[in-house]
C-alpha cells in the first residue's frame, strides 16, 4: 500500500513539474497561460506555448507574470536588470543575483528579452559592417531583330544597412543601348553610383554625408562627382511610409569631353578638344518617399534640386526618380523605374533633359 502511494505521488509530481517550471501569465479576464516569455516591447508580449506556438498578448491586459528563467528587463531610465520576474501589487519584481529584488512599475518597462533576443538586440545596436544589409539587384534586357535591330541592357543595385542609430546606403545603375540598323550607333550609355551615410541626431533629425558619381556618354559627360553634407528631417516614419526632407551643401566637379578646339604644341599643328571642366558649390535640396502599396508592392520616389551658388545665370541641376517593386516570391520581384535628369547648362549640342525608363526582374537579398 505504501509503495502505491509513493508511485502515485511521483506520477502527480511528474505531471505538474512542467507547469511549475514554465512561465505563468494571468490576464485581466482571469485566463491563465503557460509557456516561455520570449520578449516584450512594453506594448505587446510574446509567449511561446507548447501547442499554440508563439502567442502575442497585449501587455496592458496582463495582471501577473511569473518567469522561471531570468529575463533582461529594460527600463525607461536606460537601466537594464537581469533576473526572474514576479508580480506584486501591480509592479514587476526582478530577482537579482545578489538575492535582492528590484521593483519596476509596468509603465516603466521598455522591453523584456530572453537571452537569445538580448543577444540579437545587442548585435543590432553594433552590427558587423558586413551584416545587416538588405536590398535588391535589378536586371532588364531587350533585343529586337528584323525590321529593327536594337539591344538594351539595364542593371541596378540598391543596398542599405540600417541600425538603431545610423544608416549606410549604396546604389549603382547602368543603362546601355545600341541600334545596329544603317549606321550602328549607341542609343544610351549612362552610369550612376553613390554612397550615403545617415546618423540620427534625435528621432526626427539626422545628419548625412554622401558622394554621387555619374557619366553620360551621349551628353559628353565624362564624370560628375558630387560631395554632399547636410541635415534631414523625418516628416513621416512608420512601418508603411517614410517621408524625409533634406537640405545641405555640395561641391560639384564635372568634366565634359567636348569643348572648343585648340591647337596643341605639335608639328604639324593639329586641332583637338581638351573638354570643359566645371567646379562649383551648390545647394542640396531633396525629398524622399517610400510607401508600401498592399502586401507585395513598394513605391519609392526621390526629388532633388541643386542650384549653383558660385556661377551667375541661375544654373541648376535637378533629378526625379520614381519606381516600384512588386514581389513575386520572397527573393524575386518585378521592378519598374523612371528617371528624369535635367541640366540647365549642358555643353553645346547636348539636350538639357534625359529620361530613362527601365523594367525587369528584381532579386532581393538580406544578410
Q: What is the pLDDT of residues 3-24, one digit of tens each?
A: 555 544 444 444 444 444 578 8
Q: What is the mean pLDDT of residues 267-293?
A: 81
Q: What does pLDDT average to over the chain?
A: 83
- The pTM is what? 0.68
Domain extents for the chain? 2-125, 133-366
CA distance 226 to 211: 6
Of the spans 16-20, 101-105, 161-165, 284-288, which averages the highest pLDDT?
Answer: 284-288
CA distance 215 to 234: 31
CATH number of 133-366: 2.40.128.130
Q: What is the mean pLDDT of residues 30-38?
A: 87
pLDDT of residue 235: 96
CA atoms within 13 A on the CB side of 36: 14
Residue 98 phi, psi dihedral angles, 5° rounding: -80, -5
At residue 312 the predicted structure's pLDDT band, cuts being 50, 70 and 90, is low
pLDDT of residue 226: 95
Burial label, 29 (beta-carbon count in 10 A; 0-12, 13-18, 19+): exposed
CA distance 236 to 119: 30
Indicate the Cα dihedral angle 235, 238, 243, 248, nearest 10°.
60
Q: What is the pLDDT of residues 344-355, one digit of tens each?
A: 888 777 788 888
From the list 350, 336, 345, the residue with the least C-alpha distance to 318 is 345
Amino acid at each position: 500500500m505504501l509503495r502505491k502511494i509513493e508511485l502515485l505521488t511521483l506520477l502527480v509530481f511528474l505531471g505538474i513539474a512542467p507547469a511549475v517550471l514554465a512561465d505563468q501569465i494571468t490576464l485581466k479576464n482571469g485566463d491563465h497561460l503557460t509557456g516561455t516569455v520570449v520578449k516584450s516591447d512594453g506594448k505587446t508580449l510574446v509567449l511561446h506555448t507548447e501547442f499554440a506556438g508563439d502567442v502575442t498578448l497585449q501587455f496592458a491586459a496582463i495582471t501577473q507574470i511569473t518567469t522561471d528563467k531570468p529575463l533582461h528587463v529594460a527600463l525607461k531610465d536606460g537601466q537594464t536588470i537581469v533576473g526572474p520576474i514576479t508580480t506584486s501589487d501591480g509592479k514587476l519584481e526582478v530577482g537579482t543575483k545578489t538575492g535582492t529584488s528590484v521593483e519596476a512599475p509596468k509603465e516603466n518597462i521598455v522591453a523584456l528579452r530572453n537571452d537569445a533576443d538580448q543577444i540579437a538586440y545587442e548585435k543590432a545596436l553594433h552590427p558587423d559592417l558586413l551584416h545587416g544589409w538588405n536590398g535588391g539587384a535589378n536586371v532588364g534586357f531587350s533585343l529586337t531583330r528584323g525590321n529593327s535591330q536594337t539591344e538594351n541592357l539595364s542593371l541596378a543595385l540598391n543596398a542599405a544597412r540600417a541600425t538603431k542609430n545610423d544608416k549606410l546606403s549604396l546604389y549603382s545603375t547602368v543603362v546601355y543601348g545600341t541600334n545596329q540598323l544603317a549606321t550602328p550607333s549607341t542609343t544610351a550609355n549612362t552610369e550612376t553610383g553613390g554612397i550615403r551615410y545617415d546618423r540620427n541626431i534625435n528621432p526626427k533629425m539626422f545628419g548625412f554625408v554622401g558622394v554621387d558619381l555619374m557619366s553620360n556618354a551621349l551628353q559628353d559627360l565624362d564624370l560628375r562627382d558630387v560631395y554632399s553634407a547636410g541635415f534631414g528631417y523625418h516628416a513621416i516614419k512608420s512601418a508603411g511610409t517614410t517621408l524625409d526632407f533634406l537640405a545641405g551643401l555640395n561641391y560639384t566637379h564635372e568634366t565634359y569631353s567636348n569643348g572648343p578646339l585648340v591647337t596643341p604644341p605639335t608639328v604639324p599643328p593639329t586641332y583637338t578638344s581638351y573638354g570643359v571642366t566645371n567646379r562649383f558649390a551648390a545647394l542640396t535640396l531633396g525629398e524622399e518617399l517610400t510607401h508600401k502599396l498592399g502586401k507585395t508592392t513598394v513605391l519609392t520616389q526621390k526629388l532633388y534640386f541643386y542650384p549653383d551658388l558660385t556661377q551667375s545665370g541661375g544654373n541648376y541641376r535637378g533629378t526625379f526618380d520614381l519606381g516600384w517593386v512588386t514581389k513575386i516570391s520572397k527573393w524575386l520581384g518585378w521592378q519598374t523605374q523612371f528617371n528624369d535628369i535635367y541640366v540647365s547648362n549642358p555643353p553645346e549640342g547636348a539636350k538639357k533633359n534625359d529620361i530613362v525608363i527601365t523594367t525587369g526582374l528584381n532579386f532581393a537579398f538580406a544578410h
